[in-house]
Amino acid sequence: MKVIISATLRYFFGHTVEEEIQGDTINEVLANLIRKYPEAKKGLYDESGQLREFIRIFLNDSDVTEEAERLKTRIPEGATLQLLPLIAGGAPEDSLISEERRKAVNFDDRDIERFNKHLLLREIGVKGQKRIRAAKVVVVGAGALGSAVIQYLAAAGVGTIKIIDFDEVSVGNLQSQVIHSLRDVKRPKAASAKDTVRNIDRNIEVIAENKKLDAENAEELIEGFDLVIDCTDNYPARYILNDACILNGIPVVYGAIYQFEGIVTVFGYRDGPCLRCVFPAPPSPGLVPTCAEGGTISPLAGIVGSLQTSEALKLIMGIGEHLSGRLLTVDTLGLHSGIRKIHHNCSCPLCGDNPVISEVSDFDYEELCGLKENDEETPIEGLTPEELAHRIENQDPMTIIDVREPHERALQYFLGAIPIPIGQLARRKKELNPDVDTIIICREGKRSILAINTLREAGYQGPLYNLKGGVNAMKDIVFSIESGRL
């Protein structure tokens, strides 16, 4: 039968949430549970072998703790047993915040009024709220995810928030980056986010870092902080941040979004896995868009960012379950979510048994993923936007292949281009005419390099050209009405 173990007892059960235990009666199930988890005996029973008075046993929805006969009778099929102890509330001692720092926080009447909804929760209480106020959190990225994370951290009362982002606000950001407004366009995102936090709670210390996170500054930027929340949008930053946090013993709350889907997890907490344990290297271009934003529905960032903030607050207070060792997935289009187990990798080059990474270092993502030319490879010839425009105006014979994602093509259509995903190029090479030039286009001129290498490896012999800068670079090109392509 299924046995559900309350959070306050899970210490004795290896932090297990539920177990399938054999047994015909409740007594047999409990005995088999103790055999599997010997340490649980002292948590459930006193010295005389009696069930401790603060623990209740529920069979389905019925409290059967005092019903001796019912504990001996046969359990109905499909029943669920739950062990539920008395809960005192407050924050336990596995919080990221020490007792000394918590006790140093003082609340006045205005604080009591501001945080009354938290104070009413037994799991938080005054102790938990003081830990929140004592916490120091770094948020890397003040974009879509960062918008939700920063605002909810501030609303919850986190005492110190450092915001790291080197970008400026643009009109296109306002759809999902709700921490910014129209008046913030062209302002640094970090400064804009800081102003929003100050309007929520002026007692919060806000540190705005208008910097790009890199290998040289990563460790300095997170030094002295309790927790880091990864709201970045590119692979190099994610790996640099992961390495810096793991090497400095700081947990990372990771979140990512794409179109209608998102994921959340916690890396580097206690003996849990890090990013490199789960994803040793970033995905190859073409499998996941790397030189273009994949697009996301506006509320998704709020959903995933809120989940990241919830994980952060639980770690700060030391309450509830957390996502270390587990990956939460959310699909808002298909309306389903799930939790997948992820494991610490003993062979991880960063946190494994024999680590080889001892410092934070930059890595060339384009070289790693095959976007850069190798000296031993045939050089890839490229056309500038002006050169391609001239050929189009002259109606030169050529084939233009568009390897962008469908949603990218929908935003910026290129008339006359043949859409072929990179994964289909090898088997569809016969559709190309080797007697004329083939020009490969993508959004920024990077995936097209991979596409050309793919065709060469497949044995295609015709002339291939890459559009330098991609379709984005052609947006300012003016065509005649007759020959216009964009």
Show the tokens assigned to 481: 């009405």
Strand segments (E) across 46-116: 55-59, 62-63, 80-85
Q: What DSSP element (H or E) covers 367? A: helix 365-368
Q: Cβ(485)–Cβ(392) under 8 Å?
A: yes
**pLDDT exceeds cutoff 50 at 449:** yes
Catalytic residue among 274, 348, 369, 442: 442
Q: Which residues contact 468 (CB under 8 A, 6 or more apart)?
A: 382, 383, 384, 385, 445
Tokens 């009413």, located at residue: 120
pLDDT tier at 292 (50, 70, 90 boundaries)?
Answer: very low
Whether residue 469 is predicted with pLDDT greater than 90 in this model: the reply is no
Radius of gyration of the chain (CA): 28
Q: What is the β-pairing status of strands 2-5 and 18-20?
A: antiparallel
Helical residues (DSSP H) of 135-269, grouped into ranges:
144-156, 189-200, 218-222, 235-247
Residues 113-126 pLDDT 10s? 999 999 999 899 99
DSSP labels, 221-235 = HHTT-SEEEE---SH
Same domain, yes or no, for 158 and 199?
yes
Residue 47 lies in a domain: yes
Looking at the structure, tell me whether residues 344 and 426 fall in a common domain. Answer: no
Strand order in 55-59's β-sheet? Answer: 18-20, 2-5, 80-85, 55-59, 62-63
3-class secondary-structure state, position 266: strand
- The answer to whether residues 344 and 217 belong to one domain is yes
Q: In this structure, are 160 and 195 located in the same domain?
A: yes
Query: Chain-wide mean pLDDT for the chain?
Result: 85
Asked if residue 146 and residue 60 are part of one domain, the reply reads no
Report the Cα 414 to chain-centroid distance in Å: 33
Instruction: Give the mean model confidence (pLDDT) for residues 168-173.
Output: 92
Segment among 14-23, 179-188, 236-245, 437-446 with least mean pLDDT: 14-23
CA distance 200 to 428: 56
Which of residues 26, 54, 85 is at a domain's end?
85
CA 314-319-324 angle, to 5 degrees, is 60
Does 291 lie in the same domain as 155? yes
Contacts of 30 (CB under 8 A, 6+ apart): 23, 44
Inside any domain, residue 127:
no
Tell me the one-letter amino acid at 275.
Answer: L
Write down the pLDDT at residue 290.
Answer: 38
Number of independent structural domains in the chain = 3
Distances, alpha carbon 63 to alpha carbons 27, 67, 254, 427, 461, in Å: 14, 9, 40, 65, 77
Residue 134 has pLDDT above 90, yes or no: yes
Calpha distance 339→357 (Å, rounded): 29
CATH number, position 152:
3.40.50.720
Active-site residue identified among 245, 277, 291, 348: 291
Task: State which of 326, 345, 368 marks the end of a domain.
Answer: 368
201 and 72 in a common domain: no
Please give the residue range of the domain that contains residue 21: 2-85
Q: Is the pLDDT of residue 406 over 90?
A: no
Nearest to 453 by CA among 250, 203, 285: 285
> Per the domain annotation, does 99 fall within a domain?
no
CATH number for the domain spanning 451: value is 3.40.250.10
What percent of the chain is predicted at pLDDT more than 90?
48
* 129 assigned to some structural domain: no
Q: Is 285 inside any structural domain?
A: yes
Residue 442 located in a structural domain: yes
Q: Cβ neighbours of residue 117 under 8 Å, at least 6 residues apart?
A: none
In a domain, 462, yes or no: yes
- The answer to whether 231 is a known catalytic residue is no
Whole-angstrom Cα distance, residue 175 to residue 191? 19
3-state DSSP helix/strand/coil percent for the chain, to nearest 5? Answer: 35, 20, 45
Residue 457: pLDDT band (50, 70, 90) is: confident
Residue 197, domain member (yes or no): yes
- Note whether 312 and 454 are same-domain residues: no
Residue 176 vs residue 89, higher pLDDT:
176
Q: Side chain identity at 165, as an amino acid letter?
A: D
Give the DSSP letter of residue 139.
Answer: E
* Dist. CA 126–CA 131, nearest whole Å: 9
Q: The tokens 């799930």 sit on which residue? A: 338
- The span from the CA of 97 to the CA of 83, in Å, is 29
**Range of weakest confidence among 225-234, 256-265, 352-361, 476-485:** 476-485
At 411, which helix (H) or strand (E)?
Answer: helix 406-411
The residue that leads in pLDDT, 20 or 280, is: 20
More confident residue, 65 or 59: 59
Judging by beta carbons within 10 Å of its beta carbon (0-12, 13-18, 19+), is residue 90 exposed, middle or buried? middle
Instruction: Looking at 13-82, list the stretches that DSSP marks H as alpha helix, in order from N- to C-terminal side.
Output: 26-36, 40-44, 68-72
Which residue did the predictor score with more confidence, 391 or 68?
Answer: 391
